[in-house]
Amino acid sequence: MTSWSDSPVRHATRLSVAPMMDWTDRHCRVFHRQISRNALLYTEMVTAPAVIHGKRALLLDYSPAEHPVALQLGGSDPAELAEATRIAADWGYDEINLNCGCPSDRVQSGAFGAVLMKSPDLVARCVEAMQAASPVEVTVKCRIGVDDDIPEQRLPGFIDTVAAAGVRRFTIHARKAWLQGLSPKDNREIPPLDYELVHAMKAARPDLHLSLNGGVTSLDEAEAHLARGLDGVMIGRAAYHEPMNALGAADARIWGQGAEADPFTVAEAMKPYIAAHLAAGGRLHQITRHMLGLFHGRPGARGWRRVLSEGATRDGAGLALYDQALAQVKA
């Protein structure tokens, strides 16, 4: 396995965009990459059986521009996860991440996701098998606990057991998951955030690379967590809904590169990608549905959203409609 010091994603880990099912598909990632050249981008979760038995190109293909890009796997069978990791690493992903934080019913029935926090020994076996199969770093995304866990006990025990199996980098969604009675959406909002516990973990385990996730809505907040000593911050919903607020100044402020991204430049930069997608038989909406928040907070933002949401699903919708939407914000 690649050691941490020469990991190809090392520079990118200070800010990442969270894995989000149905949202962070390849088109969304190409869009986010136009806003930040450096942030680490995560795929949606893909289950290990899907990687092994499903339509691999559909599940795993991505554009070279997306690097550094991490694939998130779901699963709890070490051999299956190892096989899926081998396949994904061959596909060129820069990191393979194991989902130990997703509370949805479907995932619970497969005994993976957040329920794995109750079985750290099993997670250790999973990541050992994945690491043996992977030339790139294997990481873990988890919660601070599940159900009636006491997070101050659950989290350190989980992290220590998984770290003893060789994982150096964790992203911690700073709230518990409740496996019964809460929808996945409620599970991202109702269990209270406990940032202090994540900071305490970093203080107690300074050798581990720990990223905080959950409820971070701006780059200012992300930078405040980094300044307090965390190694990385992962932003989910805010990066999707208000991408310029979350990511627009990241290259300049976090990596000291260039000026703040400009949404018009981003919109222009997407055109060749959109044209290629349309030429290959794809639909405009598949890309622009992820871009509705690009002009959030600017005059004309509603018009941009309206023209795209009403028109981009229509047959034949293409760059002419895209320009019409852009005219709403340029006016």
Ligand X SMILES: Cc1cc2nc3c(=O)[nH]c(=O)nc-3n(C[C@H](O)[C@H](O)[C@H](O)COP(=O)(O)O)c2cc1C
- Binding site residues, ligand X, CB under 6 A: 18-23, 44-45, 72, 99, 101-102, 141, 173, 188, 213-216, 235-238
Q: What are phi and psi of 20, to 5 degrees?
A: -140, 115
Helices 195-204, 151-164: inter-axial angle, 10-degree rounding: 40
State the residue number with the nearest CB to ligand X: 236
Say if residue 314 carries a ligand binding annotation: no
- Determine the longest span between alpha carbons in the chain, in angstroms: 59
Q: How many residues are recorded in the chain?
A: 331
Contacts of 184 (CB under 8 A, 6+ apart): 102, 103, 104
User: Minimum CB separation from ligand X for residue 231, in Å?
Assistant: 17
Nearer to ligand X, 19 or 145 (CB): 19
Say if residue 202 carries a ligand binding annotation: no
Say if residue 188 carries a ligand binding annotation: no
User: Minimum CB separation from ligand X for residue 41, in Å?
Assistant: 12
Say if residue 20 carries a ligand binding annotation: yes
The sign of the torsion formed by the CA atoms of 20, 23, 24, 26 equals positive
Nearer to ligand X, 19 or 307 (CB): 19
Q: What are phi and psi of 112, to 5 degrees?
A: -145, 180
Nearer to ligand X, 18 or 321 (CB): 18
Q: Which two tokens stand for residue 252?
A: 């300049």
Nearer to ligand X, 222 or 284 (CB): 222
Q: Which two tokens stand for residue 237?
A: 């919903």
- Find the catalytic residue in 28, 100, 102, 142: 102
Nearer to ligand X, 29 or 278 (CB): 29
d(CA 94, CA 135): 9
d(CA 130, CA 170): 15
d(CA 268, CA 273): 10
E strand or H helix at 170, and its extent? Answer: strand 169-173
Alpha carbon 173 to its chain's center = 12
User: Minimum CB separation from ligand X for residue 45, in Å?
Assistant: 3
User: Minimum CB separation from ligand X for residue 165, in Å?
Assistant: 19
User: Minimum CB separation from ligand X for residue 216, in Å?
Assistant: 5
Question: Taking Cα atoms as reference points, which of 200, 207, 153 lies closest to residue 176?
Answer: 153
Say if residue 324 carries a ligand binding annotation: no
d(CA 136, CA 316): 41
In the residue annotation, 102 being an active-site residue is answered as yes
Say if residue 215 carries a ligand binding annotation: yes
Say if residue 173 carries a ligand binding annotation: yes
Active site residues: 102
Task: Please state the residue numbers annotated as binding site.
Answer: 19-21, 72, 141, 173, 213-215, 236-237
Task: Please state the residue numbers annotated as binding site for FMN.
Answer: 19-21, 72, 141, 173, 213-215, 236-237
